Structure 1
Amino acid sequence: MSDQYIQKIAYDMSLDEKSVLAAVQLLDGGATLPFIARYRKEATGGMDEVAIAGIRDRLLRLRQLDERRQAILRSLAGRRLLTPQLQESISGAESLARLEDIYLPFRPKRKTRASVARERGLEPLARRIFDGQAERGLDLEDLAAAFVDAEKGVQSGEEALAGARDIMAEWMSEDAEARSRMRAIFETQGVLRCTAADGGAARKAIGNDIDNSEKFRDYMECSEPISRVSPHRLLAMLRGARLGVLRLHLAAADEECLAAMEELFLKAEGPAARQVRLAAEDGYRRLLAPSMENETLAAARARAEEKAIDVFAKNLRHVLLEPPLGHKRILAVDPGFRTGCKLAVLDRMGRLLESHVIYPHDLGQPAGRSGGRDREQAENTVRDICRRCGIEAIAVGNGTAGRETEQFLRSLNLRLEEDGKEMGKGTAGEELPVIMVNESGASVYSTSEAARQELPHVDATVRGAVSIGRRLMDPLAELVKIDPRAIGVGQYQHDVDGQSLAQALDDVVISCVNLVGVDLNSASRELLARVSGLGPKLAAAVVKYRDEHGMFRSRKELLNVPRLGPRAFEQAAGFLRIQGGENPLDGTAVHPESYSIAERMAADLAVPVERLMKDRHLLERLDPQRYLTERAGRATIQDIIEELSRPGRDPRREFEQFQFSPGVERIEDLRVGMKLPGIVTNVTAFGAFVDIGVHQDGLVHISQLKDGFVRYPADVVAVRERITVKVLDVDLPRRRISLSLK
């Protein structure tokens, strides 16, 4: 491992080199982000997962840069082009762009005007002109005439000079210093112009999607510095260009660019200088400017994508850590008009007990159905299920017919049955909670392989209802079963680099799962696959072992699972919980490697470990200094004491029931000035989208989030946050709702 990697990463991230080295060694050894952050604090100086992920990503980029560097050196050496000076330049390149600039003149090329001129033997002429700029007596006509050769395709002296200029233009456009100067000008002073596309491509694009012209209307005549264009606007422009609706052009001030080219390449004012000046202008306009336009746009796009991915990751974290209702008997409802409402009855472990379809809504009834009779039958079915199954809460998907179904269920005045378990402070006889659940991605789950394996003999529509109910019980455990991109909290998620997005979202899912912890005896294969150190194959092996041997009685039993060795056990054990097992510490986040410390603490107080976990006053009598070891420092000891004080604690907030404003169910019900409760569904760079229960999310623009300047909307609101908004404007034809938090 190169010391330069460690030094550069530490410098870039303002971290201690020793801590960076420790993190890199742990990562290279196969340790996961959650394991390093939770159980190796002494080694890393207490880095969190974000810092460790930053080290991992920078390390990967540096190694990829070195791989490319070595490939270039091998290529040049193999072609006998590598000189000591060139090797020094390549070895000193600190960025991929600089490395490629140095290599560009030596890269094998396709056929160009310059390569044709070289084939005609004009490179010596180009070199003579370029080197002879200071020679005032140089006769270009005589010089060029010597290179006229009809057999080679050079018919005149002027053609010879033109070919020489082509060669010089390519030299200049491939010069590393010139490219560096042009890149800086384009990045700092380049102006991005966005216009409506011309011709058939635009007509075809708009014809394929009649909304395209409306979606991109705000971008059809705009111009702004590339250094100041916001990430979401740039991604929108790029999407419009990809669809053929918009045309993008990035340009810098030609005068400044040409002046820089002349400063670099014009050495005197002799007769040859005019040819060099013409070549420099041609090299800039024909070769360098288009290249810099593409490079600068690509770099801006990469930054915009990075921001979009960051927004998506933060939103996803809030969704996954949404408070769970807990283990309740649930009536889950996937609402619908014409196709009816699908009902799924779930026990307290989320297992499907029975399913039904009801038709409570007159709107969209199939021909021959009587709305009144169907509604009465629907009422009777729901009442019977709630009474017979002891339902403790009703989960209603927030999709089509969601609000109407919610109102129908509330109108039944359902009550908790005598045998129903209390919900919070609710007791038997109190109103049965009817809770709206965000159903984004439920249809994706219902047709997935995971759903088919879990519920093989159940219709896909019922699987969707099951997923809605389980999301209410435990959002994290259910949402890990689907691709995070289907949850719908991203910004231009289909326009960003798929690999980078997948890595970032995977980091978030794994982080959340391991933060909360996983019940080893009830977790699904999909949830176990996200546990540190396991992955899909070991998760499947754990489930198979559990099915064959029954519930795990201790964490140590994991070592009996085929292919689950000591390394995987070390990474996973601390995040897996066993309630009521042989060792009470197995139900906590205390790692097995630290059990001896917890047992010493209990022994010093002359009590069993189990008693220590139930009495905070006993823990207060402990002296952390007494338990420090070479491996377990103050941070680890403090974590152990904290965990013993609240064993197996869930870091998620307490569940709070939410209800939309009664009587406001459609966009037509909205009036300017209304104040309504809502749930934030998505946070973007330009504001937040809020569900106010009218089947169309409203937008709180960044300027309406609060009084004063707001740089990032995520600093003010979070996905799934409950807020109260004011209606500013309702555009019925475009179905747009403007909201305010002020």
Structure 2
Amino acid sequence: MQLIQFIKIKTNLPEKGIQNTIELLNEDCTIPFISRYRKERTGNLDEVQVGDIVKFKTQFEDLEKRKTTILKALDEQDVLTDELRQKITATQDSITLEDIYLPYKKKRKTKAETARKNGLEPLAKIIMSQNANDIDYIASKYLNETISTVNDALDGARFIIAEWINERTDIRNNIRYQLEKFATINTKVISSKKNDEKAQKFRDYFDWSESLNRCPSHRLLAILRAEKEGFIRVKIEIDHQRAFDKIENRIIKSNNDCSEQIKLAIQDSYKRLLYPALSNEILNNSKEKADESAINVFAKNLKQLLLGAPLGEKTILGIDPGFRTGCKVVCIDAQGNLKHNETIYPHAPQNKSVEAMKKINSLVEAYKIEAIAIGNGTASRETEQLIRKIRFNRDVEVFVVSEAGASVYSASKIARDEFPNYDVTVRGAVSIARRLADPLAELVKIDAKSIGVGQYQHDVDQTKLKNSLDIVVESCVNTVGVNINTASESLLSYVSGIGPKLAENIVNYRTENGAFASRNEIKKVTRLGAKAFEQGAPFLRIKNAKNPLDDSAVHPESYTIVAEMAKDEGKKLVELIGNKEVLQSIDLKKYCTSEIGLPTLTDIIRELEKPGLDPRETAKVFTFNKDIRTISDLREGQLLPGIVNNVTNFGCFVDIGIKESGLVHVSNLSDKFVKDVSEIVSLHQQVIVKVLEVDIARKRIQLSMNFK
């Protein structure tokens, strides 16, 4: 099967679109570029569809590499027949491929291999023929220096038969079917760990059993983590007798001495070879599916977080709250540059609240502060209440900002390079302030796993997680676009076609030559060739450029078409941009070419109506219930404002202004059945929740959004 047919079967996408997308990928085009600027070639495929083509292209190529390796190995063993070659070449999945290869695979020293060396394979063949009687007499003919008894001979023959049974694809597939349909996952607590404090969060799984194919991803990952940490034992179980019977029905065709030996070999093969391998396989497959589900949740959450509402280019005072060590205060300008930093001590044990309020007030005046960002960690509520008591002489909005991952950033090389003369506490406060101005620009500097918006992110396949999250970050960065004159190296590195090295070169050019005046000037950056410019230019924005299109998502390759439109309408370019009435009256068919069709032209008109428009909403002030400061203040039945701070498959977590977030279980999200939690809530959504249950000992809060 060829690549295009393979992807077509997996995705059900049009063949022509798949073929052209593969050609573009082979030309080193990126997913954002292909989906936005090559719609005519792909048949208007979106980012998700192009991403699926990339995924299955990689899957196909990996399968083909494995086939090549296996064919070479078989050829070297001189066992590769035309029939076997054809069988391997036609295989479409890795499990079938490995089953075909299993009988030929070089094995470590096995019981069957030892029996063969002792000359017992002919005896095994006689038994499998099921035509012989008095098998003890026949076995006695195979005694030698190593095989001293009839029982030894029969044992060895059965080891060989057990291996043959293990290598039969039909038998393996039948057991796979039973495992897929009927397997249960069972857990038991390790008695010596039952009272371990760390084990208590897994106590639901101290004695647990359920159908494996119905075990939700989050529960399977929790069970496997508990096993990994040594608190429980996990077993996969099916009806073993039923499995024996299925194998016997496929093999045993007689009722004599041979059949008795084969029954014993079946039991040995099943218990020693088939079941251990295939039960591990089904558990690994279930783990892969759970990983995929968890990664998808993480990717959705990360996208929502990165596309969170920015306040924009404002002067911001950032506060990283604390009690004993004080609150770290920074002032940044509209471009995010650090202008001032110091520490105030408004809380216990110093209790210098009056002094702190005066200091904040003076800083707001001195640096013309427009907004205050307060981290949501320790002492956040107390600090927010202090700030809201201050009577400023100017309009100042107060926001509570998630500080998840701020400590990771502040200790990173990126932060050290940005602020070599400041310690981690100052860097953390700067990160909090910058997150309010532009969450995307700041959060791309942090390892996505450290942001804390997923479930069991440290338990899933780390390579797949990283690849998925990198795609999300790249998509978000290119969806919003990047101001090339203010963007950090980290942000620039995610722009289509740029990458870390060119991002560094862009920053170096900017440092040496000042701000970019036009998109054409980008070509002067060292090693930024025609391909990188084609891929990246439309995502790089230049404010106040001579050509207003340089601050839009219109690709430079389409500038001439826009100029032609303006000329035909008797308008200057600046008069055409934003002129919705004129733009909507343009006959787009007139500008269609062999390369650019209606999909791209429609995008151009949409962009010209609101050039460079940020697709994100604007940040809004949110206030928690001032009477709720700790978990002890909660009572069943209370209605509280909150912010969704994590979304999982089993529900969402809501920040209600205290240290512990509350869980809205999926069953309490709506009065209707909820299949996908993310269809009901999104990260940073402001909600009203009802307190259902408070477990102070376990620090657990159950909430509901279904109370109308």
Q: TM-score, normalised by structure 1?
A: 0.94
Aligned-partner Cα distance in 1 for 2:582–2:82: 70
- How far does the alpha carbon of each residue in 1:453-504 deviate from its partner, in whole angstroms, 9 at most, with x for none? 1111112101100000000000000001111111100110000001000000
Written as runs of structure 1 = structure 2, the 5 A alignment for 1:584-603 is 584-603=548-567
Partner of residue 508 from structure 1, selected from 450, 466, 472? 472
Is the contact between residue 538 and residue 563 of structure 1 (CA under 8 Å) also seen in structure 2?
A: yes
Aligned-partner Cα distance in 2 for 1:615–1:86: 67
Structure-1 residue corresponding to 2:376: 398
Q: SS at 2:97's partner residue?
A: helix
Structure-1 residue corresponding to 2:303: 317
Alignment of 1:438 with 2:431, yes or no, is no
% identity of equivalent residues = 46
Alignment of 1:188 with 2:181, yes or no, is yes
Written as runs of structure 1 = structure 2, the 5 A alignment for 1:39-54 is 39-54=37-52
Structure-2 residue corresponding to 1:211: 198
Partner of residue 284 from structure 1, selected from 254, 257, 270? 270
Q: Which amino acid aligns with 1:146?
A: K
Alignment of 1:375 with 2:373, yes or no, is no
Q: Which amino acid aligns with 2:153?
A: A
Written as runs of structure 1 = structure 2, the 5 A alignment for 1:148-167 is 148-149=143-144, 151=145, 153-167=146-160
Ranges in structure 2 where 5+ consecutive residues have no aligned partner: none
Alignment of 1:147 with 2:129, yes or no, is no
CA deviation after TM superposition for structure 1 residue 198, in Å: 4.3
Structure-1 residue corresponding to 2:120: 122
Aligned-partner Cα distance in 2 for 1:670–1:12: 50
CA deviation after TM superposition for structure 1 residue 584, in Å: 1.1
Partner of residue 653 from structure 1, selected from 617, 629, 652? 617
Alignment of 1:169 with 2:167, yes or no, is no
CA deviation after TM superposition for structure 1 residue 251, in Å: 1.5
Is the contact between residue 265 and residue 280 of structure 1 (CA under 8 Å) also seen in structure 2?
A: no
Aligned-partner Cα distance in 2 for 1:411–1:164: 87
Q: Which amino acid aligns with 1:139?
A: D
- How far does the alpha carbon of each residue in 1:270-292 deviate from its partner, in whole angstroms, 9 at most, with x for none? 33121112111211122101111
Aligned-partner Cα distance in 1 for 2:268–2:243: 12
Aligned-partner Cα distance in 2 for 1:328–1:175: 69
Alignment of 1:384 with 2:371, yes or no, is no
Aligned-partner Cα distance in 2 for 1:564–1:558: 8
CA deviation after TM superposition for structure 1 residue 104, in Å: 0.9
Aligned-partner Cα distance in 2 for 1:630–1:230: 50
Aligned-partner Cα distance in 1 for 2:172–2:597: 51
CA deviation after TM superposition for structure 1 residue 434, in Å: 1.2
Structure-2 residue corresponding to 1:58: 56
Written as runs of structure 1 = structure 2, the 5 A alignment for 1:184-333 is 184-199=177-192, 202=193, 207=196, 210-212=197-199, 214-333=200-319
Aligned-partner Cα distance in 2 for 1:616–1:570: 28
- How far does the alpha carbon of each residue in 1:582-628 deviate from its partner, in whole angstroms, 9 at most, with x for none? 21111110001111110110010111111100321221221111111
Partner of residue 105 from structure 2, selected from 107, 114, 118? 107
Partner of residue 707 from structure 1, selected from 668, 671, 687? 671
- How far does the alpha carbon of each residue in 1:526-560 deviate from its partner, in whole angstroms, 9 at most, with x for none? 10000000000000001101111111111111111
Ranges in structure 1 where 5+ consecutive residues have no aligned partner: 417-429
Q: SS at 1:211's partner residue?
A: helix
Aligned-partner Cα distance in 2 for 1:16–1:415: 62
Is the contact between residue 305 and residue 684 of structure 2 (CA under 8 Å) also seen in structure 1?
A: yes
Structure-2 residue corresponding to 1:419: none
Q: Label 1:292 to 1:198 Cα distance change in 2 as closer, same or farther (>3 A).
A: farther
Structure-2 residue corresponding to 1:559: 523
Q: Label 1:146 to 1:198 Cα distance change in 2 as closer, same or farther (>3 A).
A: farther
CA deviation after TM superposition for structure 1 residue 342, in Å: 0.3
Q: SS at 2:214's partner residue?
A: coil
CA deviation after TM superposition for structure 1 residue 219, in Å: 0.9
Partner of residue 589 from structure 2, selected from 586, 611, 625? 625
Is the contact between residue 700 and residue 738 of structure 1 (CA under 8 Å) also seen in structure 2?
A: yes
Structure-1 residue corresponding to 2:660: 696
CA deviation after TM superposition for structure 1 residue 695, in Å: 1.2
Q: SS at 1:147's partner residue?
A: coil
Q: SS at 1:138's partner residue?
A: coil
- How far does the alpha carbon of each residue in 1:10-38 deviate from its partner, in whole angstroms, 9 at most, with x for none? 12212101101111111121111100110
Structure-2 residue corresponding to 1:420: none
CA deviation after TM superposition for structure 1 residue 221, in Å: 1.1
CA deviation after TM superposition for structure 1 residue 723, in Å: 0.6
Is the contact between residue 325 and residue 474 of structure 1 (CA under 8 Å) also seen in structure 2?
A: yes
C-alpha RMSD of the superposition: 1.2
Q: Which amino acid aligns with 1:411?
A: K
CA deviation after TM superposition for structure 1 residue 375, in Å: 1.8
Q: When the two structures are aligned, how many residues end up with a matched partner? A: 706
Is the contact between residue 10 and residue 56 of structure 2 (CA under 8 Å) also seen in structure 1?
A: no
Aligned-partner Cα distance in 2 for 1:277–1:498: 44
Q: SS at 1:709's partner residue?
A: coil
Structure-2 residue corresponding to 1:529: 493
Q: Which amino acid aligns with 2:198?
A: D
Q: SS at 2:2's partner residue?
A: helix
Structure-1 residue corresponding to 2:13: 15
Aligned-partner Cα distance in 2 for 1:189–1:44: 43
Is the contact between residue 98 and residue 180 of structure 1 (CA under 8 Å) also seen in structure 2?
A: no
Structure-2 residue corresponding to 1:427: none
Aligned-partner Cα distance in 1 for 2:97–2:249: 23
Q: Which amino acid aligns with 2:372?
A: I
Is the contact between residue 32 and residue 47 of structure 2 (CA under 8 Å) also seen in structure 1?
A: yes
- How far does the alpha carbon of each residue in 1:632-684 deviate from its partner, in whole angstroms, 9 at most, with x for none? 11000001111111000111113221111122121111111111111101100
Q: SS at 2:640's partner residue?
A: strand
CA deviation after TM superposition for structure 1 residue 717, in Å: 0.5
CA deviation after TM superposition for structure 1 residue 313, in Å: 0.1
CA deviation after TM superposition for structure 1 residue 294, in Å: 0.4
